Structure formats: structure tokens, C-alpha cells
Structure 1
């Protein structure tokens, strides 16, 4: 492992800091590092590896498509591209619309940001604490000062309001507003769930002022919460997807519903790799597997079991989330120590803030792996609190 770490430091840009592990193999929800040590992956590539690692359906779909037709450019179309667009519109509610396929979540949000400009308005009202990507446009929609400051000035006319505060949203939105942008649950902030009725209120506010409602479901979509979309029940004008969409194969989607899907004209936007048949075949394989294997119900039941188990320890002050997108607060700022202790016990999780832990495991996580983690959880906290002196 030391050799890979040294080679990494010598050859890759220092954008992520030193890697925590050098991983060499995966199967299901398990991964192995360069020293041969096994871990249960409770982060899933940050909500990406929906089917875990080396899932036969995904391997077969990518292999077969690559052997058939790999890349054709967007001067042409392919069966997988059209089929995926049709399927995404179905999952988004079944009404009319159009899809722009990209390579990532930030590109999906970049496309959506440009789409809002086609309304003739420029203002976007966005919630504080959200994360929408690292490109200059998507970064302009992300409120975190540490991310923004090194790259300012960013594209302007963005207004930030507190997340979950419908009154603040109503005050901020006007006839100047092109779009309201919200995550149905804020992932990077530590899985923050809005109050009941917040998304519906956002829909009503957007309608009152003729603005678009845009849900960023890059992290929450594609079965992560036990539903295809976490915003189910409230129909947006734009929904952006990525992460789990193709189970680890790079793809994203900007879905424009109703009239929003008609805003782009030829030449307004483009992509070289977006919508290529291999990525689309991968996404279709993920969707079919979630459907055929009943994973939405599995995610719902297993997620509740994990949340209940985590909450049983008094050092956990709050547990949030739905399905297998889970966040929790700790009684002290020890989340970095929890991350380290979990690794020692053979589990990978995430510490997004000093007192918060996030779990986003593969949707195929087994009950046995969940039970093993819950059994180890008190010892993980013991070690973390002892190391922190708390």
C-alpha cells in the first residue's frame, strides 16, 4: 500500500489530500485494500455504487455494449440512449419531457443552470448548505465559503436562503427568479431532511412567481431513499441525476419536465461523451436490477433497521434520512475518530462535519453486513471517544 500512496503523491494533483486506503478489488458491498484487508463499504463511492462492486448484471451490460457499439458522438443516436431517456421520464412521473444526458452530477447541474437562463430570467434562489458540484457554474450554486472563495468571482445572481425555511423562500422568490434549486435531502451537509411540506411549499412558491422548480437528486435519486426520487409526490420542472444512476459508470442526466424540456434549442448546449451507449446500457442495467430484485423495498426495510440500531446508543443524538441515505449527529466533535475507528473494525463510512456521520452503502447491502456493523457500532464509538478524550 505504501508504494501506491507514494506513487499517488508523485503523480496525481493534490485535490483530495492523501488517500485513506489503496483499494484493489470489490465484490458486492465488500472491498479489499492493497494489503489484502477486507472492508464493508458503507459509503458506496458516496452513494454511487448502487449495485455494489462487480455486479453480474452491470458487468454483462457494459461488456456486451462495448463489444457491440462503444461511442458514436451526438450526431447520431442509439437504442440505449433513447431507451434510457424514456425510462427516466417514466420514473420522473410519466409525463412529457426531454432529457439531456451528461457524464456527471456537476455537468447535469451545469446543464440545468443554463436551462434556467432560457427562461429570460437570471436569478436562482438556492438553499444554504447544499452542494451542487465543482464546475464554475455549479459552484456558484453551492454556498460553502471554503469551496467558493478560491474561485470567485463566480457566475452571479444567486440568492441563498436557509434550507427548510419556506417563509424565507417565499420572501426571496420574485418575478425576477428563474428557478428555485433544492436538494430533497441535503447529502453533503450530513443528510439534512427538510420539514414536512417544504418541497410542496417550494412548488407553490415557484408557481406563484412563474419560476422553475429544480430538484438536485444527484445523491438522493435512483432508489437511494427507497423511492426512485426522494421528491416523489412533488413534481419539479427540472430534476438532475447522477451518482447511482449507472452504479459507478460515469453518467448524469438533466431531466426537463413539461415545458422545461423544450427550453434548449440546437447549439445551446453539448457534450462529447454524454449519452454514449455504454453508459446508457449500464444505467438501464442498474434500473432493471433495482426493479427485478425488489431493491426499493429492501432499501426501505434495511435502512430503518440500521437507523434504529444507530439511534440505540446514547452518544448518537439524532439519526436522519430515508432508505440507505443515513446521517447522524454525535454528542461530541469526534466524527473523524469514528471514521478511523470504523476502518479499524473493517467498515468504511464518511464524516462530513466534525459531529456528523453519513452512510450511503450499496443498495445490495445484506442484512448480515448491516447486523455486523450494528454489533460493532458501540465498540467503534468507544474507541473514537477514547481517542478524542471525550
Structure 2
């Protein structure tokens, strides 16, 4: 790296802020919808089995989406250039799998209404790690620090308010409440820590689409190990029960929806950093409540006080999201990020100019662009798995408002199209 690059490196940060905001908000919509299948927690499957089924859907999606958008040749070329990040991505997947399993225990023991706000405090954990390890908010103006910190706190407070709005129907078990709360807090700590590998990968120039393909190896491997060790081994119900097979499609679908949201979240983390990206994606609490209230009627018998919590909590969350999304990094803060890029390049002997272009979303011209025949095999296998599970699926015996299902699905699709269009126009999914 030249001395000029160290003292006057290319500008990064300002031009990608809008991309990160769009991705963070789209992530919230999709991650909120992905929580709906967790209502199957009382279907006869253990929390380990439910998490394994969701992770299987996640595994399928994490290979399908990158193959569809970029092709495996580009993914493998990217990973070959960043071999040092492969163990880090696997570790991140392991953290995600354990955290996801803890959330299922939390939902079972204290209900989604209480568990959701507790594990969404991961945004505060993320801000701490972002500041300590990557210099985020270093050199930021007082106004931006105020916006990010206060906006994040507002989102957390709003999540608590929205959670308490449905606490009457949480179905919590008093004898297991403490364990459920601890499980949700554990998930928060793990999910907040999981963003360290995310951020480290992206300041090294790795594409999020490449990162998630390795990430999912850690997810699936960890969940298989947990089921074998703690859920009956090879005799686990998930491997043998035909009575729950009709539920697998919905858990696979939940995992697939989660991946779309997580992919947007990863791009938000890349372009905004941990401290801004996580709070925006944590607006999923509001969308999760929308699914619970409008589709499953969770607020049908609530009193005026609970409905007021919903209104006020939603407004507070929107204000928090606005505060975070308008905290555009100043030149001093972007300078601290350039210092982090310099350190990363020096540590792993990376081409600084190339890393900066990747970080800014500029398309690499050296990666292979043609698709291999096995790309179509991967896509065909994924489609076949979902088709096979869909044929065997049955609509769960839960009262649902199909009209609101249609409205929320339309919002899901619209947010995905908008987020994908922004990414494609500016970065070609880089």
C-alpha cells in the first residue's frame, strides 16, 4: 500500500448511506414476517427440532439466493480471495444457530411478546462492539451520536412497549419464566456478538452473498450437533415422526423468509456499520406485531390501554428509526472507518484500493461472470425441495385473517423489490 493511500485514501461512507438505510428497513419487514412460523412451537416438535427445520430452510435459501443473483463461480472466486474469513463466517453461523435455538426456548417459556423485545436489545450490544472493535462513531458529531444512541434506545423501548401490548396472550409458564428470560437475553448477546464477524468480513471487501454461503455451514452443522447431543440423537422426533411432516414446509418457509431479511440486514451492516444497521433491522418488532395482531388476532380482545401501547410504541419506533437513518456519517467519522480499512488491509496483505471499491459497492471486474451448469442444479434442487414439502403441507390449525395475509405479503414483496432495486442500481449486489 502506498504512502499516499494511507494519508489520502479514497472517500468511503457518504454515498452508500442511503443504500444501507433502504436495506435496514427492508430487513425489518422480512425479519418480522419470519417469526410467524415460531407459533408452531407447540406442535409436538422440540425447540431443537424446530430450530433445525428452520435452519434447513435457511441453508437452502443461503445457497439458492447467491446462486440466483451472482452464480457460484463469483462466490467461490470471492471466497478464494478472502480465505482468512472462512473460519470467521463459520463461527458466525454457529453463533446464529445457538441464538436461534434460544429464541425458540424463550418463546415457549415466556411467549413471543416478552421474548421478542428482550432479544432485540442486541442492537445495544452491537453498538458497543462496533465502537470498541471497529471505531464506529469515533469522530462522529455530537448530533450524530445523539441520533444513533437515542434512536437505538427508542427502538428498544418501543419494542418493550409493543411486547407488553400482547403480554396478556403470551402463554407464559410461570415455572419456566426465568429460563425463558435468560434464553432471550442469551440470544441477544449472541446475536449482538455475531455482527463482529459480519463487519470484519465487509471491511475486508467480502461480498455478503459470498459470506452467507459459508455462514450457513456453521448454522446447519451446529444445529445437527445440538439435535444429536441434546434431543435424542438419531432417534429424535424430527427424523422419524410422520405426524409433523406437514409442518416442515412452514418452518422451511420461515427460514427462507428469514434469509431474505438477513441478507438485507447484512448489506445494511456493510454500508452503515453495526451501530446503525442493527437498530434499523430491529424494527422487525413492529412488523412481527402486525402479523400477530392483524393475521392471528392477538389483539382482538385487548383493552384500550393495550391498544394505546401499540400506537405509542409504533410511533416511538418510527421516530427511533428516523433518527438512526438520518445520522449520516461526517468526514471525521468516515476518516476513522478508512483507518479501520487500512488496518485490515495491512493485517491480511490486501489490496487497499480494491477493498475500498468493494466496500463502496463498486462491481469487481475480475470475478468470473459466467454461470456454471451446477448453478442450475442447485436452483432446481431447491425448487424441488420446496415443491415436495409444499405438496405434503397442511395449513396449521390456527385462525388467520387471509385478507391481512395478502396485504402483508404484498408489503413484503414491495420492500424486497425496492431494496433489491436500490442494491442493483448502485452496487449490482456487491
TM-score, length-scaled by structure 1:
0.26
- Structure with greater helix share of residues: 2
Instruction: Identify which of structures 1 and 2 has the higher relative contact order when contacts are C-alpha pairs closer than 8 Å and 6+ apart.
Output: 2
More strand by share: 1
